[in-house]
Amino acid sequence: MKKNRGKFISTIILFIIIVLPVITANSCNSSIESEKQLKEEESQYPTSNNYQGLRTETKNINLEELVDNYPRIVCFGDSVTFGWNVDYKDSYPSVLEELLQKDYSNVKVINSGIGGDTVIDAYNRLESDVISFEPHLVIINLGLNDGWIQEVVEDGNGGEVEEPSDNENKEIGLNTNVDLETFKKYYCDIIEIIESANIKIILMGINPVLGDPSLVNDNIAGGQIEIYKMYNEQVREIGLDSNLVYLDLWSIFNQDYKAHDYLQNDGIHPDENGLKLIAKSIYDALKICDF
């Protein structure tokens, strides 16, 4: 009996010395991983207003109830359309709807923006998130994520940023999420599909940015700005070729050189004032143009 008790005690001691630290370490590692994942999620979605996919208000729309809404407008885009970091009521589609209600009491403006979307992502959800609503007008705002610098090209000029000589973003030593040629192709395909459904279109360029603190240096931040200007020029040319209205947000935001007054602290996304400016610009365009 004493031998068994001694053996039992020895087993417990071995467990404490060998096994318990392993369990504790694994538990700590698991806790660290969970904390790391949580921080990443908080970084990606810093407020409760940010989340994957469409706005909850858009998901809750009953298609059958849209019959009485005229006109129906779909705002199609990325985080700028979604209204990153702001309440739904402050997103530009919501503000636009409020403005239009002065003239159209039954107007419905649908927010079909998803944070992080490129033109390819937008193309893949065009039917479900735009055409299915049977809108009379679609406002397209894409390019922010397409033109985003993915990496500095290692060969060529070794990542040194120069003034772009043409529309090839690789000329300035940077790679973007979606190259300009692919961006143009998918953008034109989106327009073709929407127009084939007899829906009118307004195009919007990328709003000005002030660079991004996460970029390696000021040269690359400057390169980001130049790239966005090239993507805007591409959209402007598409608008001219397709005889579509193009709203130049870069110029609109830079009136009186006060773009910084309309941007959030990240220097990229419009704040509430910037989103109001976008909505007002669309509203003014709708009054002037025949829609």
User: Three-state SS string across the chain, please?
Assistant: CHHHHHHHHHHHHHHHHHHHHHHHHHHHHHHHHHHHHHHHHHHHCCCCCCCCCCCHHHHCCCHHHHHHCCCEEEEEECHHHHCCCCCHHHCHHHHHHHHHCCCCCCCEEEEEECCCCCHHHHHHCHHHHCHHHCCCEEEEECCCCCCCEEEECCCCCCCCCCCCCCCCHHHHCEEECCCHHHHHHHHHHHHHHHHHCCCEEEEECCCCCCCCCCCCCHHHHHHHHHHHHHHHHHHHHHHHHHCCEEECHHHHHCHHHCHHHHECCCCCCECHHHHHHHHHHHHHHHHHCCC
Domain CATH for 244: 3.40.50.1110
In the chain, which residues have pLDDT < 50?
A: 2, 8, 12-20, 22-25, 27-28, 30-43, 45, 154-168, 170-172, 213, 216
Is 212 in contact with 221 (CB distance < 8 Å)?
yes
Domain that holds residue 39: 1-44
As to burial, measured by CB atoms within 10 angstroms (0-12 exposed, 13-18 middle, 19+ buried), residue 267 is middle
Note whether residue 273 is domain-resident.
Answer: yes
Global model pTM greater than 0.85: no
162 and 216 in a single domain? The answer is yes
Is the domain of 120 the same as that of 182? yes
pLDDT value for 196: 98
The pLDDT value given to residue 221: 65
Q: Are residues 78 and 157 in the same domain?
A: yes
Q: What's the number of domains the chain is made of?
A: 2
Residue 49 forms part of a structural domain: no
Q: What percent of the chain has pLDDT over 90?
A: 58
One domain for residues 156 and 254: yes
**pLDDT value at residue 43:** 44
The reply to whether 33 and 138 lie within a common domain is no
The reported pLDDT for the residue numbered 289 is 81
Shared domain check, 70 and 12: no
User: Does 50 fall in a domain?
Assistant: no
Query: Based on the domain organization, do 145 and 166 belong to the same domain?
Result: yes
**230 and 198, same structural domain?**
yes
pLDDT score at 5: 52
